[in-house]
């Protein structure tokens, strides 16, 4: 079966074949660990996970890398402003590395909650400074760089193919254009490979000696002259992805992923600096996920519309419902987040799990044995084989998850294949989707706290007086807390987590 992916480089669907037979190498841009990752970031990571699982389903061995950015990502894409990690450190009164480790842990915990398989390698930028310096020195030798008073820059005019990914001409590049007037950049699109710890970065805590690669422990020990002489500084954001991807996957690898926001600057720059250094094609396929939006617009801290996996859990919603919610829309389309839509994904997930449980019967261990001992392909009937083929062709067609989900539900809810086939197909498809469909649905009863007990007593009184408006009002208050009230026949009010 042919696999087709939409390659951002060239902007069309192309037949995918890995460089090495049966083995696919993937690099995905990971999180900048300076604050809690939000569900928009997780759309990108769920997408990368889907890609990996799909390729494994289709018979490939996958080697994947996701970087952890713990130094060098400035608040502005135009190489100015504070480092996000240092900003986080100032906000919380702890060191930048303590910030990085704290939010890296949150990120890793969330990966687990979302059933995202850990990439083969998860390298940290701060632990690959030597590789980054080496790459910059290579570029210096080949004449692609120049120095300004605040850093070492890549000269984009020297790289012939600059702009190929985004389709922008160099003179149209917006990035950096506004600061170009006052900066010493030769071209607006030029970008920092290394920033010196001077000027607005004078107090940067994470600094390394560019000549020796050694990290500096005390910022007070260096004078500006010393700093300039030893080029004491820190890497620009883009160079880490080139250095680490090539270290783990080689000079040319199969697939690079990230959100669409990375196309015009970050990924364009990754291509330029990597190919300039190696004279080889950097990446064969560039796959980009569209944005998760809220109210049709961008999520942002200032608007207060950022949500985390914790927020989802606090509403009693299974984090895997967010996975299902993402798969309901193709990864190259914008996806608007609402709590209503997520809650209906949660119900859809429950329905699937309920149905699966019914089909499996009570004794799961026994059924597991039956499934385990049967090779997947053997003795599947014609219709079951067709379902499997349809599912494979849906994911081979640029990861068409809405279609894959429809096929899964047909298998789950439909008739015409045996229960054993249903069970085997669903388990197999779930290896791609990672929805834990064989997990039983447990209704979680809540022990009401004092305040909730008071509200329940008020509601009971209101109902006795047939004041249903008040009763509904109280029900709505519980709904806001992610809870629902069930009225038992005995008259008792049972509080449960809301579906």
Selected binder of ligand AMP within 195, 262, 424, 497 (CB under 6 A): 262
Residue 72 contact, options ligand AMP, Zn ion, none, Cβ 5-8 Å cut-off depending on partner type: none
C-alpha dihedral over 418, 419, 421, 427, to 10 degrees? 160
* Nearest residue to 120 via CA among 246, 251, 27: 27
- Residue nearer to ligand AMP on the CB measure, 303 or 457: 303
- Residue nearer to Zn ion on the CB measure, 29 or 46: 29
Residue 44 contact, options ligand AMP, Zn ion, none, Cβ 5-8 Å cut-off depending on partner type: ligand AMP
Per-residue CA distances from 214 to 74, 130, 210, 368, 488 (Å): 22, 9, 8, 54, 68
Residue 292 contact, options ligand AMP, Zn ion, none, Cβ 5-8 Å cut-off depending on partner type: ligand AMP
Are 234 and 206 in contact by the 8 Å Cβ rule? The answer is yes
Kindly tell me the sign of the dihedral angle through the C-alpha atoms of 234, 237, 240, 246: negative
Residues 6+ apart with CB under 8 A from 38: 299, 306, 307, 308
Residues 6+ apart with CB under 8 A from 437: 352, 353, 356, 412, 426, 427, 430
Measured from the CB of residue 312, what is the shortest distance to Zn ion in angstroms? 26
Number of residues that bind ligand AMP (CB under 6 A): 15
Whose CB is nearest to ligand AMP? Answer: 259
- Residue nearer to Zn ion on the CB measure, 16 or 286: 286
- Residue nearer to ligand AMP on the CB measure, 44 or 230: 44
From 185-193, 255-263, 372-380, 457-465, span contacting ligand AMP (CB under 6 A): 255-263
Query: In whole angstroms, what is the distance from residue 444 CA to residue 352 CA?
Result: 18
Measured from the CB of residue 271, what is the shortest distance to Zn ion in angstroms? 11
Residue 241 contact, options ligand AMP, Zn ion, none, Cβ 5-8 Å cut-off depending on partner type: Zn ion
* Binders of ligand AMP in range 272-331 (CB under 6 A): 289, 291-292, 299
Measured from the CB of residue 257, what is the shortest distance to Zn ion in angstroms? 10
Residues 1-30, one symbol each (x = binds ligand AMP by CB under 6 A, - = not), give ----------------------------x-
From 186-194, 253-261, 366-374, 375-383, span contacting ligand AMP (CB under 6 A): 253-261
- Interface with Zn ion (CB under 5 A): 29, 241
- Residue nearer to Zn ion on the CB measure, 29 or 306: 29
Looking at residue 401, what DSSP letter applies?
A: H
Residues 400-439, one symbol each (x = binds ligand AMP by CB under 6 A, - = not), give ----------------------------------------
119 touches ligand AMP by CB under 6 A: no
With DSSP H G I counted as helix, E B as strand and the rest as coil, what are the percentages for the chain, rounded to 5? 45, 15, 35
Q: Which H or E run includes 368?
A: helix 364-372
Measured from the CB of residue 266, what is the shortest distance to Zn ion in angstroms? 5
Measured from the CB of residue 29, what is the shortest distance to Zn ion in angstroms? 3
Residues 6+ apart with CB under 8 A from 484: 475, 478, 495, 496, 497, 498, 499
Measured from the CB of residue 151, what is the shortest distance to ligand AMP in angstroms? 20
Query: In whole angstroms, what is the distance from residue 124 CA to residue 112 CA?
Result: 19
Selected binder of ligand AMP within 72, 88, 236, 258 (CB under 6 A): 258
Residues 6+ apart with CB under 8 A from 159: 144, 272, 275, 276
- Residue nearer to ligand AMP on the CB measure, 267 or 424: 267
Are 14 and 7 in contact by the 8 Å Cβ rule? The answer is yes
Residue 259 contact, options ligand AMP, Zn ion, none, Cβ 5-8 Å cut-off depending on partner type: ligand AMP
- Residue nearer to Zn ion on the CB measure, 241 or 360: 241
A 10 A CB-CB count for 492 gives: 10
Residues 27-66, one symbol each (x = binds ligand AMP by CB under 6 A, - = not), give --x-xx-------xx-xx----------------------
Largest CA-CA distance found in the chain, in angstroms, rounded:
86
Measured from the CB of residue 64, what is the shortest distance to Zn ion in angstroms? 14
Residues 6+ apart with CB under 8 A from 177: 188
Q: What is the DSSP string of 2-66?
A: --EEEETTTTEEEE---SBTTEEEEEE---BTTSPPPHHHHHHHHHHHHHHHHHHHTT-EEEEEE
β-strand partners of 487: 493
Q: Which residues bind ligand AMP (CB under 6 A)?
A: 29, 31-32, 40-41, 43-44, 258-259, 261-262, 289, 291-292, 299
């Amino acid at each position: 079966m042919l696999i087709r992916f939409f390659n951002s480089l060239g902007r069309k669907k192309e037949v995918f074949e890995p460089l090495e037979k049966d083995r696919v190498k993937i690099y995905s841009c990971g999180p900048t660990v300076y604050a809690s990752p939000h569900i928009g970031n997780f759309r990108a990571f769920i997408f990368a996970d889907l890609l990996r699982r799909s390729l494994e389903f289709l018979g490939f061995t996958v080697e994947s890398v996701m970087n952890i950015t713990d130094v060098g990502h400035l608040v502005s894409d135009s190489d100015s402003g504070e480092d996000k990690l240092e900003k986080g450190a100032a906000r919380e009164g702890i060191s930048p590395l303590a910030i990085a480790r704290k939010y890296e842990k949150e990120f890793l915990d969330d990966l687990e909650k979302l059933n995202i398989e850990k990439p083969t390698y998860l390298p940290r930028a701060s632990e690959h400074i030597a590789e980054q310096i080496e790459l910059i020195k290579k570029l210096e030798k080949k004449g692609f760089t120049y120095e300004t008073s605040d850093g070492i820059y890549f000269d984009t005019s020297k790289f012939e193919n600059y702009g190929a990914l985004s389709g922008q001409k160099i003179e149209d590049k917006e990035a950096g254009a506004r600061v170009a007037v006052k900066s010493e950049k030769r071209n607006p699109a030029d970008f920092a490979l290394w920033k010196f710890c001077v000027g607005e970065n004078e107090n940067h805590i994470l600094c390394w000696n560019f000549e020796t690669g050694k990290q500096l422990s005390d910022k007070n020990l260096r004078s500006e002259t010393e700093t300039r002489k030893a080029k004491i500084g820190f890497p620009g954001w883009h160079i880490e992805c080139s250095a680490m991807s090539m270290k783990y996957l080689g000079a040319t690898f199969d697939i690079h992923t990230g959100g669409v926001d990375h196309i015009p600057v970050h990924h364009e720059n990754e291509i330029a600096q990597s190919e300039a250094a190696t004279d080889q094609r950097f990446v064969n396929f560039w796959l980009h996920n569209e944005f998760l939006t809220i109210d049709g617009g961008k999520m942002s801290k200032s608007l207060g519309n950022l949500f985390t996996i914790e927020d989802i859990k606090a509403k009693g919603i299974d984090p895997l419902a967010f996975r299902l919610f993402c798969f309901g829309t193709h990864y190259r389309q914008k996806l608007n987040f609402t709590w209503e839509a997520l809650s209906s994904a949660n119900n859809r997930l429950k329905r699937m799990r309920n149905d699966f449980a019914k089909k499996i019967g009570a004794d799961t261990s026994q059924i597991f044995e039956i499934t385990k001992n049967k090779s997947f392909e053997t003795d599947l009937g014609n219709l079951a084989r067709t379902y499997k083929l349809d599912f494979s062709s849906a994911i081979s067609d640029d990861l068409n998850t809405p279609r894959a989900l429809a096929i899964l539900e047909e298998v789950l809810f439909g008739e015409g294949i045996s229960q054993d086939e249903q069970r085997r197909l669903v388990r197999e498809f779930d290896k791609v989707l990672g929805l834990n469909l064989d997990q039983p649905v447990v209704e979680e009863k809540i022990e009401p706290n004092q305040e909730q007990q008071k509200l329940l007593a008020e509601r009971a009184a209101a109902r006795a007086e047939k004041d249903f408006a008040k009763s509904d009002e109280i029900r709505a208050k519980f709904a806001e807390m992610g809870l629902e009230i069930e009225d038992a026949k005995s008259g008792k009010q049972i509080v449960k987590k809301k579906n």
